Amino acid sequence: MTRLPARPAPSPQRGMTLIEMMISMLLGLIVVGGVVGIFIANSETHRRTDDLARIQENARVAMQLIGRSMREAGGNPCGLPPDRGLIFLSTELKEGNWWLGGKDFKEALKGYMSGDQFPASGSAVSSDAVITVSGNLFVKTVTADDPPSGAMKIPSRAGLANHDILFACSTTMGRGVVFKTSGITGAGTNWSVNRTDSFDGLVKNLSATTLGKLNAEGWFVGDNGRGGSSLFRAFIGDNGQPEEIAADVTRMRITYLLPNADQYVPANQIDADDWTKVIAAYIELTLSRSAGNQATIERTVGLTVNLRNRFNPKKSDPP
């Protein structure tokens, strides 16, 4: 009878020693720590990239809007130049209202310095500010007029409302009147725009050929109520509630160029009678955004604006 060879007795199973377990845990912690570090670094990079993108977008929007506003300053349906005695304010309007552009549109563009009382906000500003006024919004052709106090007929009232401030001009007389309408009535393609007061005390028998809506904007940097500052725009008829245009704007600097001048100068170097002569402006915005534990991101951007409604040689390059 053949005997099977005896199997060797199995060796007793052994577990991990305490030292082996501690080494394994240490290696695991090193790997996890590296992964967490990479994740945190990527998160911070993404946050800074996102913050920088927000700053750049805010700067782009702000420059586009304020640049367009300044280019249009002084514009009107007749193309009348300011400060030539051709633009009048109707008697029911108070000359001191910031959104009227001053007598004869002399203040259709006017700058302010840091610390000045800014009429569009009702308080002092912490950085440069500017007011722009034009009459080129929602322009309508007047199909018939019955001066001195009759209604002006227009084919559409789109964009116009009762008691709006309008700019009426006569291309035949080369005169314009800023006035407040007492009402707009009609239907279809036949609308009547009524004068609050007769124009006869200003321009005898002025028969309007074109109407435009007055557009006034006051640009300034102010507290946004969130622990920071923003660029704001005040409107005509906004009841003291300016609109926030761009966040993170901490400073605005605006300099102006006069004809035949060699350099741009701040607002306090422009005489009151010279605002109608300004032919260009250089706008500089400083934007700042906190990025958590990282250093604050700050960028400064600039834009040169040539004013369209000036009858002078243009010189556009900033110093």
Q: What is the DSSP string of 143-155?
A: SEE-TTTSPEEES
pLDDT of residue 7: 59
Which tens digits make up the pLDDT trace of 67-83?
Answer: 999 999 999 998 998 88
- Dist. CA 170–CA 154, nearest whole Å: 14
1, 2, 8, 156, 184 from 5: Cα distances, Å: 13, 9, 9, 113, 117
Is residue 19 a part of any domain in this protein? no
- pLDDT, average across residues 188-213: 92
Is residue 36 a part of any domain in this protein? no
* Nearest residue to 178 (alpha-carbon basis) of 79, 274, 102, 273: 102
Is residue 314 a part of any domain in this protein? no
What predicted TM-score, i.e. pTM, was given to this entire model?
0.82
- pLDDT, average across residues 278-306: 86
Mean pLDDT across the chain? 86
Is residue 32 a part of any domain in this protein? no
Confidence of residue 312 (pLDDT cuts 50, 70, 90): very low
Domain count, the chain: 1
Identify the sign of the CA torsion 198, 199, 200, 205: negative
- Residues of the chain with pLDDT > 70, as a percent, come to 84
- Dist. CA 212–CA 230, nearest whole Å: 31
Which tens digits make up the pLDDT trace of 89-138?
Answer: 998 888 788 999 988 899 999 999 999 999 999 899 999 999 999 999 99
Q: 195: domain range?
A: 50-306
- pLDDT, average across residues 221-233: 92
pLDDT of residue 317: 42
pLDDT of residue 313: 40
End-to-end CA distance of the chain: 115
pLDDT of residue 243: 92
Contact by Cβ (8 Å): 253, 60: no
Q: Hey, what are 277's tokens?
A: 């002569």
pLDDT of residue 6: 59
Is residue 34 a part of any domain in this protein? no
Is residue 159 a part of any domain in this protein? yes
Residue 243's identity, in one-letter code, is: E
Which tens digits make up the pLDDT trace of 235-272?
Answer: 986 565 899 999 999 999 999 999 999 999 999 999 99
Confidence of residue 311 (pLDDT cuts 50, 70, 90): low
pLDDT at residue 314 tops 60: no
* Nearest residue to 219 (alpha-carbon basis) of 256, 184, 258, 251: 251
Which tens digits make up the pLDDT trace of 6-52?
Answer: 556 555 556 667 777 777 777 777 877 777 767 666 666 656 666 66
pLDDT of residue 315: 43
30, 163, 181, 199, 227 from 293: Cα distances, Å: 24, 53, 56, 64, 17
Which tens digits make up the pLDDT trace of 141-169?
Answer: 999 998 888 899 999 999 999 999 999 99
Is residue 33 a part of any domain in this protein? no
pLDDT of residue 292: 61
pLDDT of residue 124: 94
Is residue 232 a part of any domain in this protein? yes
pLDDT of residue 316: 43
